[in-house]
Amino acid sequence: MDKQRNATLNVDGKSIDLPIYSGSIGPDVIDIRSLYAKTGMFTFDPGFVSTAACKSDITYIDGDEGVLLYRGYPIEQLAMKCDFLEVAYLILHGELPNAKQKGEFDSIIKNHTMVHDQLTRFYSGFRRDAHPMAILVGVVGALSAFYHEAMDISDEYHRTVSAHRLIAKLPNITAMAYKYNAGQPFMYPRNDLSYTANFMHMMFGTPCEKYEPNPVLVRALDRILILHADHEQNASTSTVRLAGSSGANPFACISSGIACLWGPAHGGANEACLNMLEEIGDVSRVGEFIKRAKDKDDPFKLMGFGHRVYKNFDPRAKLMRETCHEVLNELGLQDDRLFKLAIALEKIALEDDYFISKKLYPNVDFYSGIVQRALGIPVKLFTGIFAMARTVGWIAQWNEMIGDPEQKIGRPRQLFTGATQRDVIAMDKR
């Protein structure tokens, strides 16, 4: 047995030992759980830049090397060799399915694709121009009101059924958000189609004629879903875990993840990136925007650039760049204005000292917006597509947390900098 390693911390002359643990790969961690009891002090780590909040078996990222593994498998291989439901099975169960398991999983998900008819009524409560993410936060949270019979989170079977329901219904709920915006009738799912082809049918089909999804475009969207399926303990996943740590139901937890994902520093970046490209408008204006991005007094950032973890390249961005070419070729859009602008922006930024020294590279969202736009997905729905994919990761991480015997309610502490105790003075004396 390996000898227990310790880190020794000297606090005001008193020395304490804290155990060090190793994972299967990645940085070791120092267990600081006894720190407060031993020293009366907390650690201070806003933004959790040096804090491992949990143990997890699901996803591993090496930001320096540009590595992303789901259950040990490189994202490049999964994106080339698997479809989204295969990857979803892997993320949920830990192993890739064999043909029988895959067939059964596909069929379970298909069994849950319809939503309760009453749920469709929620949509009419929203303004027609409501942001799809606002609709998703509300409607996914509202699923909590439909499945009381299977919401005992201590029951593994109930947790599994909830995971299947969420994965199966998110495409329907997302497509309905689009249809509601567009003023078109909701489309029932078609269970003869694959997960992603069915989503495209619910998005782009109408009751007037049969919609035949283009396999190249289905594959491209499927790849976007695979690339976004999980990403370790990012902001939205941590939100789902924190919400779930109190025992909240899975639908409410996923809804909280959707709310977090909506922010422009996270999943909202693909929408913000495309809006930025529209604002730049022309290659001749790239220099002006690069200058703004470098100006400390200007809050403008190059959307789609930079990542908290990837500091050399984002492996998903590389795959998305290839997919971008495939889709634009298929659609005869090789000369797409925004794609050309994106390429010019990427080239100039990658040669600029500011971006080199701060290790700012294009992230997955830099290209995913261009692909989605070419597929006919409206910009406002980009983050909704991301939420649909990430639901797999969120629910797997939530399930892992609930099943962890060491799990506790999440309760960070603080460094208090406000007023110390004082007395209330009567209004007429203030």
Examine residue 265 and tell whether it contacts ligand ACO (CB under 6 A): yes
Examine residue 377 and tell whether it contacts ligand ACO (CB under 6 A): no
Q: Which of 291, 340, 358, 413 binds ligand ACO (CB under 6 A)?
A: 358
Examine residue 75 and tell whether it contacts ligand ACO (CB under 6 A): no
Q: Mind telling me the catalytic residues?
A: 307, 365
57, 230 contact by CB (below 8 A): no
- Nearest CA-CA partner of 213 in 230, 236, 226, 196: 196
Examine residue 293 and tell whether it contacts ligand ACO (CB under 6 A): yes
Q: How many CA atoms lie within 13 A of 319 on its CB side?
A: 25
Examine residue 201 and tell whether it contacts ligand ACO (CB under 6 A): no
DSSP assignment of 80-126? HH--HHHHHHHHHHSS---HHHHHHHHHHHHHT-S--GGGHHHHTTS
Examine residue 365 and tell whether it contacts ligand ACO (CB under 6 A): yes
90, 96 contact by CB (below 8 A): yes
Residues whose CB is less than 8 angstroms from the CB of residue 401 and which lie 6 or more positions away in sequence, other chains included: 54, 241, 244, 245, 407
427, 273 contact by CB (below 8 A): no
For ligand ACO, the closer of residues 297 and 423 by Cβ is 297
Residues whose CB is less than 8 angstroms from the CB of residue 423 and which lie 6 or more positions away in sequence, other chains included: none
Residue in the shown chain whose Cβ atom is closest to ligand ACO: 306
Count of chain residues binding ligand ACO (CB under 6 A): 18
Q: Which residues 300-329 are close enough to bind ligand ACO by CB under 6 A?
A: 301-308
Give the Cα separation of 218 and 221 in Å (integer). 5
Give the Cα separation of 283 and 304 in Å (integer). 17
For ligand ACO, the closer of residues 218 and 320 by Cβ is 320
222, 86 contact by CB (below 8 A): no
Examine residue 360 and tell whether it contacts ligand ACO (CB under 6 A): yes
Examine residue 66 and tell whether it contacts ligand ACO (CB under 6 A): no
- Tokens 């069915």 sit at which residue? 198
Examine residue 364 and tell whether it contacts ligand ACO (CB under 6 A): yes
Examine residue 167 and tell whether it contacts ligand ACO (CB under 6 A): no
Quote the least distance from Cβ 99 to ligand ACO, whole Å: 32
- CA 264 to centroid of chain Cα atoms: 12
Quote the least distance from Cβ 73 to ligand ACO, whole Å: 20
- Nearest CA-CA partner of 279 in 346, 339, 338, 334: 338
Residues whose CB is less than 8 angstroms from the CB of residue 243 and which lie 6 or more positions away in sequence, other chains included: 252, 253, 256, 257
Quote the least distance from Cβ 274 to ligand ACO, whole Å: 12
For ligand ACO, the closer of residues 190 and 301 by Cβ is 301
Quote the least distance from Cβ 306 to ligand ACO, whole Å: 2
Examine residue 245 and tell whether it contacts ligand ACO (CB under 6 A): no
Quote the least distance from Cβ 238 to ligand ACO, whole Å: 13
For ligand ACO, the closer of residues 88 and 293 by Cβ is 293
For ligand ACO, the closer of residues 152 and 295 by Cβ is 295
Examine residue 361 and tell whether it contacts ligand ACO (CB under 6 A): no
For ligand ACO, the closer of residues 159 and 228 by Cβ is 228
Give the Cα separation of 361 and 391 in Å (integer). 26
Examine residue 269 and tell whether it contacts ligand ACO (CB under 6 A): yes
Q: Which of 162, 181, 363, 399 binds ligand ACO (CB under 6 A)?
A: 363
Query: Binding residues for ligand ACO, per CB under 6 A?
Result: 265-267, 269, 293, 301-308, 358, 360, 363-365
